[in-house]
Amino acid sequence: MSKFADGENAAVRTVDLATGQVKTLLGVFGQRGIRLGQLPAGLNRPAGIAFTSTGTLFISDQAENTVLVLAGRP
């Protein structure tokens, strides 16, 4: 399973490399700025993602000039 930022569709998505199936992990596919649950901001144009070894996810949003941080599990 691979994860990637899909800036054109305002989402973070996954692709199953064995089947080619793509799913939306975060965001509302094709709708910019939709809030993500309790997060203070929505995704507008995610440009990149990174994970730490503890599962914390960093999402850079090019249009918002910000980085969202989603804490991983301890």
The per-residue pLDDT for range 2-57, each reduced to its tens digit, is: 999 999 999 999 999 999 999 988 887 777 776 666 665 678 899 999 999 998 99
Extract the tokens encoding 11: 């989402």
pLDDT the model gives residue 30 = 76
Number of domains in the chain: 1
pTM summary value: 0.79
Domain carrying residue 21: 2-70
The residue among 70, 9, 1 whose CA lies nearest residue 44 is 9
